[in-house]
Structure 1
Amino acid sequence: MTTAVLREMRWWDIEPVLELEKDLFPEDAWSRGMFWSDLAHARGPHATRRYVVAETPGEDKRIVGYGGLASAGDVADVQTIAVAREHWGTGLGALILTELLRAATAFECTQVMLECRVDNVRAQKLYERFGFEAIGFRRGYYQPGNVDALVMRLNDPSTSVSVQGTEING
């Protein structure tokens, strides 16, 4: 079980998040500007985004995961989820996804969409556990590697969150 604590992502988290991003997704890492842009829409009464980081507890706090969701109308999109390799298999990915689905429910979204690399079977299994279903492909979506994306959809994210029952600390 993970010992990381989730909290809202803030602008000062971008640099450590970028380090993790570049380690995990060297060919198609997000840019600093992409994170800045999404965080600009994650605060205030008209927020359309929810970004969280997973941080180790104690004095030596370190970001070991993050995730983001964007909403538009009644549809949300999981923009990104990442977990440091040393935390794979600890439930941290499920914790982050649970928080993003809670945000989708709070945004009153009835569907959640996402794209996942076709070669990322670990992530696909996580999403399937939450009730996501494959609905199509986006050819060459991940560049510059020209890797296809599997498009997945979850109907009624509130049901999936209540089934998972994962608690968030902090």
Structure 2
Amino acid sequence: MIVDAFTCERIWVVSQISRLEQELFGQGAWSRKTVEQELQAPARTYFLDVAPGCASSTQPYLDSEELRGYAGFWFDGDDCEIMTIGVARNHQHLGIGSGLLRRMIESSCAQGARRVLLEVQVDNTSALGLYEHFGFRKLGLRRRYYQPQGADAFTMALDLKPIRVGFIPHDMSVSRREQQNDNAESQATEEDK
């Protein structure tokens, strides 16, 4: 079940995200302090996937196995940047990552974002497949983006509101061409007189 991270007990959220960060990302994991700072930073939205039946905001979360996944993004007023997404190893390939990503996209739309941006390690084929399934496209490559291992990352984007620059509807462009042709014919006729 997906819940808003900010409705849960902060100490539990920080400890559980920190635990999963270590499990999933090893040397590149966020420290507990980094997780705390990220959750306190402005314009952040975070979601948690917790086991059914343990999402009461009045009961503290105590069981370390209740958190199955987490994800969050930053909204700058135009774009949303996915900061992190992770699913516990024993819960992967069950649709939890898809559910979290879907919830972030829906929340990004509700906040008025034009697109969603992210970075993903180039050899993370599962994540790449997930993002491509949702319509993300590769923008470029960031060399040695993930530290300390020095792994490269693809930057990817999902357009939520298409930007139309210089767009002319097909019918209008046809009529303009016809008008230009008519004008050219008129000028040629005038010059022949």
TM-score class, shorter-chain normalisation, is 0.7 to 0.9
Which runs of no fewer than 5 residues in structure 1 stay unpaired?
A: 42-46, 159-170
- 2:51 and 2:82 map into 1 onto residues whose CA distance is 23
Instruction: Confirm whether residue 35 of structure 1 aligns to residue 45 of structure 2.
Output: no
Provide the aligned length of Structure 1 versus Structure 2.
Answer: 149
- 2:34 and 2:110 map into 1 onto residues whose CA distance is 23
Which runs of no fewer than 5 residues in structure 2 stay unpaired?
A: 55-62, 163-193
The partner residue of 1:149 within 150, 153, 163 is 153
Q: Deviations over 1:15-59 (max 9, x none)?
A: 011111101000200122322223224xxxxx6111011111246
- 2:155 and 2:149 map into 1 onto residues whose CA distance is 18
Correspondence list, 1:18-57, <5 A? 18-41=18-41, 48-57=43-52
The partner residue of 2:113 within 106, 109, 113 is 109
- 1:91 and 1:109 map into 2 onto residues whose CA distance is 24
Q: Which amino acid aligns with 1:135?
A: L
Q: Which amino acid aligns with 2:4?
A: E
- The 3 A distance-change label for structure 1 pair 157 and 20 is farther
Q: Secondary structure at the match of 1:39?
A: helix
- 1:22 and 1:79 map into 2 onto residues whose CA distance is 16
Q: Secondary structure at the match of 1:25?
A: helix
- Percent of matched pairs sharing the same residue: 36
**Backbone CA RMSD of aligned residues:** 1.8
- The 3 A distance-change label for structure 1 pair 14 and 122 is same
Contact 1:104 1:157 in 2 (8 A): no
- 1:36 and 1:105 map into 2 onto residues whose CA distance is 26
- 2:53 and 2:110 map into 1 onto residues whose CA distance is 30
**What TM-score do you get using the length of structure 2 for normalisation?**
0.72
Q: Secondary structure at the match of 2:154?
A: strand
Q: Deviations over 1:38-88 (max 9, x none)?
A: 3224xxxxx611101111124656101000010102111011000011111
- The 3 A distance-change label for structure 1 pair 83 and 157 is farther
- 1:26 and 1:40 map into 2 onto residues whose CA distance is 23
- 1:140 and 1:110 map into 2 onto residues whose CA distance is 28
- 2:98 and 2:72 map into 1 onto residues whose CA distance is 13
Structure with bigger strand share is: 1
Correspondence list, 1:1-170, <5 A? 5-10=1-6, 11-12=10-11, 13-41=13-41, 48-58=43-53, 62-156=66-160
**What TM-score do you get using the length of structure 1 for normalisation?**
0.82
Q: Deviations over 1:78-108 (max 9, x none)?
A: 1100001111111100000011111211221
Rg comparison, structure with higher value: 2
